[in-house]
Structure formats: C-alpha cells, structure tokens
Structure 1
Amino acid sequence: MNMSLQQKQELGLRMTTELRQAIELLQLSTYDLELYIREKELENPVIEIQDAERTDSFQERQSTNYSSQETHSTEWVKQQEVSKREQMLRQVEIDFKDVETKQLLKTLIHSLDDNGYLCAEMQSIENVEAGIELLQQIGPPGIGSRTLQECLLLQVKSCDEHPKLMETFISEYLPYVAERKWADIAKGLNITLAQVNELHEFLLTLHPRPCPELGNSETEFMMPDVIVEEKDGKLSFHLNDRDLPKISLRKEYVSSLKGTSELSSYLRDYHKQAQWLLTSIEQRRNTIIRIVTDLLEKQDAFFRHGRKALQPMTMKDVADSIEMHESTVSRAVSSKVIQTPAGTFEMRSLFTSKLAAQDGDSVSPSAVKTSIQSLITHENKRKPLSDQKIVDLLLEQQGITISRRTVSKYREELHIPSSSKRKSIL
C-alpha cells in the first residue's frame, strides 16, 4: 500500500458568530428586537442604551392568536381586565347566603371551560343538576351545560316566547338538523316545511357557546413593524422603530481600548461585538426597507383596497427584483406585521402562489377565495352550488382554471359548509 500526502483546496461557507447574529436579528419583530437589545446591554459592559421617548397615542388591534385580522394597530400592550369568571364568583357572594350553595356554585364556575360548558370530570358530582339551574341566575342562559342539547334547551326555557314544539325539535331532532333532513323532521313532527323553517330560524338565534368570553380575560394590542400610509393619493411607509432604545458605547471604556493590557484585550472583544450589533441592526433595517419598497410597487392595489386586490407574488419574485436571496426575504418578513390603509396583516401573508388564468395571466389564491365567497353569497339557497359547479363558473366567468379539490380546500379555509349543508328549507 502506497501512502501519500495530498493538499486539496475547497471553497465553503462557515457560519461565523457575526453572521449568525445578523440572521437572528433579521427574523426578529420590532418588539423582540427591543428585548434583544436590552439583553445585550446586560451582557456587554461596553454597550449603553438610552430609552426613546414613548408616544401616548395607541390604536387597538383586535387579535385571536395573531390571526392577521384586518384592523389597525400601533402598539403592543396587554391590558388586564376582570374576567367573566371572576365576575360570576363575585355575584355568587352577593346573591346567595347558604354556605353549601356558594361552595357548589364556585366549584362549578371554576370547572367551566372557556366556552361555558361544564368539564366532564365534574358532571357527576352531587347536586350538579340543581347547581346548573342556579348558574342560570348569575350567568348567560345555557352556562354550565354538559351538552350542546342541554345548552340550547336551557336557552329556550329562559325565553318568554318561542315556537311551539321547539323543545321537542331540539331534544329529538338535533342530529337531523345537522344533516339538514328537513323532510324527515316535518314528517316526524307532523308539521309543514314552513313550520320546520320557523323552528330552524329560532334555533339560529340561540348560542352554541353559552359564554365564550370566559376565555378572554385580557385585551391584546399588536405593534406593527411597518406602517404604510396614503396621502394625496400616494403611498409611503416608515418603519415603526422610533421607540427602540438608542445604542451607544460607554465613553469611559472606549478610552481603555488602546493598549496591551489584559483589560484592553477584554474590552476590545466586547467593543467588536457591540459594533457588529449596530451593523446587524442597520442591515436589518435596510433589508426591510428594500423589501417594503418593492412591495409597494408590486401590490399598490392591495395596500389601498385589501385582500381582494392582492396580486399573485412569491418571495422569489421580490428576491429577484431587489437582488437578494429568497431565504433572506423569507427571514426578513418572518414575525413582522404591516399596517396599511386597508388593514393590518402579517407580512408573510402577502406572498401567495400563482393560479393560471385562460388569458395567460395569473391570479392569487386570495382573489380566488374572494370569488368563491361571492359566488356562494349570491347562490340560490334552495339549490346551492356544488364544488364542481363553482369550478365551472370560475372558468366560464373569470377564466380561472382550478380543480374541484382546490375549491373544496379554499371553501373549508373560508369556513363555508358543503352545498348539502347550505341548502335552505324553503
């Protein structure tokens, strides 16, 4: 066996600490960036921060698990409120004197889920029936129910006026309602379809979730990272980073950087880290500005009119336009919120795939969903459109080619039931 020593040159990319920091900062929201800066101040003795003057004007953004709802916002804050559960517990102390009754009601109230239903493990405790009846006196009708059927029946009993046979309709025919078997209901109750329709219309006025506010004990606000404004018919934007703390270097340490002492060497390392932090923050800012500038050019109609005007656009489209890597664009829009004249959105939601149209153009999924929603809104409720019929109408009226499976997927995302469950009684 011959042994030899060979030298080989290879080109590779090494993930340095500085590069890792730049990538990390690019992905942070403005709020998280502020936390990151404050954390670095504690770690690095060279860094000194000065808080910016806070503004006092805030606009509420109604938020459900960061859901991109089209509402306005300018600051992220949490405002504690007295919860509905706490209100009910206080009401027990006011309305009831008997100690055992108080204890029973408090136990039941603590055992309610976020929608007002009684948890399964508490449904067989002693005097639960009496406790549920008493809960109706201090909470919305139906609270403490163990089933949907019981919840609806309690609401019917609390009404002074309701259609005849309403309790029977709920007790015996609720599964038929779910399947929309109107003829079977009419036959079983020996009534006309018009009377079935009256029962169903009243049923729709009841609440399947007797107390959904039990799960909402605080109001949330969200700080946008980018704010787009329209003035004199022109769109402009600015980054909402004016409240970020200002970073500077401690003067007493800068003078000690020069020299060969152990302290000088120690401080130079921290000084280098501080400089990289400042550079990374500026790179993050410039990257976001370049991306949003391109978005304003490509999505002018969307920023003025909202989702229905969203044009098909991928991250690669923007990356090619501003000569950046697609992964950089992806990181830059991650966890970012953009406030526009048409509403507030996650920046990532502005990027969509493309669907083909007959004229050779492309259309965004958001626009297709809007078209599907419109077709279903204006359909004949006695003969609702099937998914295949929607496919045919989209092709015929708008030249959009789409599969039946995709229509079904978009319909479910819009929380629209199938045609069989949209069919009206009359």
Structure 2
Amino acid sequence: MNIELSQKQSLNIVMTPDLRQAINLLQYSTLGLAQFIKEQALENPFIELEEEVPEVNFSEASQTYRHKSRSNTNNEQQINLVDHISTNKDLSLSEYLLEQIRWLDITPRQLTVLRYLILNLDANGYLTLTCEDIALHLKEEEQFIHKCIHILHRLEPIGVGARTLKECLILQAEELFPQEGFIVPIISHYLDLLGERKWQQIAGELNISLNEVENVFTLIQSLNPKPGSAFISANTPYIIPDIIIEKRMAGYTISMNDTYLPKIYFNKQYNDLKSKNHETEKFLSKQEQKYNWLIKSIEQRRLTILKIMDVIVKKQVHFLEYGYEALKPMTLKEIADELGIHESTVSRATNNKFIHTPIGTFELRTLFTSKLEQNNGSDISSMKIKILLKQIIEKENKRKPYSDQKIVQFLKDKQGISVSRRTIAKYRDELNILPSSKRKLII
C-alpha cells in the first residue's frame, strides 16, 4: 500500500447557515415568517420593526388598520395577529356548561367537582378521564364522582359528559325518544351490526320486524355523536391566506398577503459603535450582514412564490371560475420543469400556504393532483373523479347501492373515464364513504 499526497478539484454544494435560512423562509407561512422576523429582531440590534395589525375582510376589497407601533428589540409590543378576526359572541362549550351549573341546587362540593369535569371535556363534549383518576386527583370517593357525572349528563347539550359513543347516544335516545323501547337495547348491544347493515340478524335476535330496525336506524342517525362540536373553541384555528388572487378586467392578479408582516427598518444608531473596539466592530458587522441577508431572503421568497403562482393561475383558470370540479391535473414536477427550477423548490414554496380566491380560500397543495387518462386521450384530475364519485353515490338507490365495480363501469360508459376498481375503493375511503354493503338500507 502506497501513501501519497494529491490534489483533486471538485464542485460541492455547501449548506451554509445563510443558504439554510433562505430555504427555511421559502417554506414558512405568512404567520410563520412574521414570527421568524420577530425572533431575528430580538437577536439583531440593526433590525427595527414597525407592526401594523390589519382588519382585513377578504370577501371585500377593503383593508383598514387599527394599531400601529414602531418597535425595536428593547421595546417590542406583543400583538395577537388574528385576535381581531373572531367576532363570534357565542359561548364555548365550557362557558355554556359553567353558566348552567350556576343555577343548580347543588352543594359547594358538587360544584367543585362539576367545574373540574367541565374543564376536562374534549372538544366533542366527551369526558376522557376515568372516575378513578378524577377521584384520585380531587381526593373524593368514586361513588360521589359518579353522582356528579350523572348531574353533568342532565345538562345541555344532551349527551355531554359521556365517556363513550354508546353512552352519548343512549343519553340522547332516553331523552328524545323515551317511547321507543328498542332503541336503547340496539345501541347498547347491536350498534356494530347496525352500522354493518346486518338488520335481519338484529331483527331475529330481538324478535322484531325489519321496519322496526330501520326505524331505530333512522332515529339513531338523527342523534349527535359529537354534542360539543356546535360550540366555538377557545383554540379555534383561523386561516390567514398567504396569497391573494383577485379577478380584474384584464384577468387575475396575484399578490402576497404581506399585511401581517412587520415592516423592517435598518437601525442606524448602532453604526457609531463600530469604532469602539475590534470585537464590537466584528459583532456589528456580522449583524449587519445578517440584516442584509434577511432582507434579500424575504424578497427572494416573495419573487419565487409569485413566479410559481403565475404558472399555477394560468393552468387553473377554470378552477378559479368553477372550483374543484374544474381542477386540472397538475404536479409539482410540471411546474418545476416549466420554470426551470428544482421540484423541491416548488414543494417548499407551496407547502403550508393558503390562497384566497374569488370563490373561497383553499390550501395551495390541494391544487396539485395526479392525472388519469380518459378514453379520448385527454387527462382528468383525481379530484374531478372524487367529485364524480361522490355525486354518483349521492344519487344512487340506497336500497340497491352501486358496488365499486359498477361505479367503474358507470364512469367508463357515461364519462369516458377508465379507472380501476382499486382506485375507486381508494378514493371512496379518502372521502369517508362506506362500501356498498354498508350503504344499503336493508339486507
């Protein structure tokens, strides 16, 4: 074995911190970018921010500003970017229940437990803690906890405080349909068979008619499996569109929703400190470079997203007019090839982004769909097939629902679309549509 020294020239891409920052900025949403800018301002004395919190109604073309503040790292006001959006004055589920127990004739001890139960309900109104856990935490007897849960079950909405789906439905059935003698037994022991449409088995075991089983099925469908879902949530997420598409006489215009981004200014007062000493000058020079790179990266992010959106809008004009039914097949690679950029760049630029259009607000990534070829040689998007699939099933005879194979044949004969049975089953699952055997009213 010989050991020798030699030189070799090669080209390698080095992932520098600045390059990594530029890539990260591209995939940030508007609010994510706003938070990143604030974090940079805390570390960099040259970054001075001016924040404007807009009151924007995206269904109209009006924008007003209710607060304006200029701040730097020494005096930064914390502002909730979306607190002005929610104008819903309805109560949350916990507020609604706490208001009810104020008027109950109960002991302070019961009131304490009820408050604890209410504040531990999930968003659907279910109690996820066990009696044992509650009793242990509150240092109470389990029997007393059971009594308090029973009080909770008497509150509105009916079914709140249930531990299971069966209990939730039984609470509602007992309150709403007390004369229907078979509904509680069917919920208690035959709910799975009912969902599988095995009604003859239920009728045989309970010695009742198929019509009675069907009637119970109809009544159960009228119950609410999520009694808390009708109430607002304290943690309701609000969508802030990152890109705004507006229709003008000459076509569509595309703009970034920068109203939620703080304006960035260069704080010149620190320039005078550069001559203090070498370490100070070195630190400030590095921070100035970071400031310049931040400005450059933000602008590059804006230009890249607008460039990509320009191609998307040209491809999806019909979608902007008619919605998902008119969505054309489109992939990340197609956009990347047309612009001469890497597919990963398109992926980052479209990830975590929402677009506001004249027909509504949508997640940008939902516009990218795979394509299937029709009999005439043209392409159709998977989204279009899902819409057709849903329409076909909505119009079917519920006593003789279409099998997946029949839907395949229907699409081929009526729409000229060739698709496999496995694809139909996959799309049906994605749409949360049951197979034909479980959609049938009576077996």
Query: Where on the TM-score scale, by shorter chain, does this alignment land: which range?
Result: 0.7 to 0.9
Counterparts in 2 of 1:222-301, with a 5 A limit? 222-232=239-249, 234-254=251-271, 263-301=280-318
Amino acid at match of 2:165: L
| Equivalent residue for 2:98, pick from 89, 95, 98 | 89
Counterpart position of 1:49: 49
Is this contact kept in 1: 2:54–2:259, CA < 8 A? Answer: no
Structure 2 distance, partners of 1:85, 1:265, is: 55
| Equivalent residue for 1:367, pick from 380, 384, 389 | 384
Q: Matched residue of 1:212: which SS?
A: coil
Q: Which runs of 5+ in 2 are unaligned?
A: 60-80, 136-141
Structure 1 distance, partners of 2:223, 2:252, is: 45
TM-score (norm 2): 0.83
Counterpart position of 2:167: 150
Q: Are residue 383 (structure 1) and residue 388 (structure 2) matched?
A: no
Shift of 1:134: 2.3
Is this contact kept in 2: 1:108–1:122, CA < 8 A? Answer: no
Is this contact kept in 2: 1:49–1:248, CA < 8 A? Answer: yes
Deviations 1:290-314 (A, max 9, x none): 0111111001111222211111111
| Equivalent residue for 2:213, pick from 163, 179, 196 | 196
Deviates more, 1:376-385 or 1:214-223: 214-223
Deviates more, 1:344-353 or 1:412-421: 344-353
TM-score (norm 1): 0.86
Deviations 1:97-121 (A, max 9, x none): 3344434534543554443334362
Q: Are residue 314 (structure 1) and residue 323 (structure 2) matched?
A: no
Structure 2 distance, partners of 1:199, 1:243, is: 52
Q: Are residue 98 (structure 1) and residue 97 (structure 2) matched?
A: no
Q: Matched residue of 1:293: which SS?
A: helix
Deviates more, 1:111-120 or 1:242-251: 111-120
Structure 1 distance, partners of 2:352, 2:189, is: 49
Residue identity over aligned pairs, in percent, reads: 41
Q: Matched residue of 2:284: which SS?
A: helix
Amino acid at match of 1:219: T
Shift of 1:3: 4.3
Shift of 1:394: 1.9
Counterparts in 2 of 1:211-222, with a 5 A limit? 211-212=228-229, 216-222=233-239
Relative to structure 1, the CA distance from residue 326 to residue 172 in structure 2 (aligned partners, 3 Å threshold; closer, same or farther) is closer
Deviates more, 1:271-280 or 1:233-242: 233-242
Amino acid at match of 2:442: I
Relative to structure 1, the CA distance from residue 299 to residue 236 in structure 2 (aligned partners, 3 Å threshold; closer, same or farther) is same
Is this contact kept in 2: 1:381–1:424, CA < 8 A? Answer: yes
Structure 2 distance, partners of 1:313, 1:351, is: 5
Is this contact kept in 1: 2:131–2:146, CA < 8 A? Answer: no
Relative to structure 1, the CA distance from residue 383 to residue 195 in structure 2 (aligned partners, 3 Å threshold; closer, same or farther) is same
Deviations 1:186-243 (A, max 9, x none): 3344444333322221121112233335793343322111011123483222111134
Shift of 1:136: 3.5
Is this contact kept in 2: 1:314–1:353, CA < 8 A? Answer: yes
| Equivalent residue for 1:417, pick from 434, 439, 443 | 434
Counterpart position of 1:7: 7
CA RMSD in angstroms, aligned pairs only: 2.9
Amino acid at match of 1:93: R
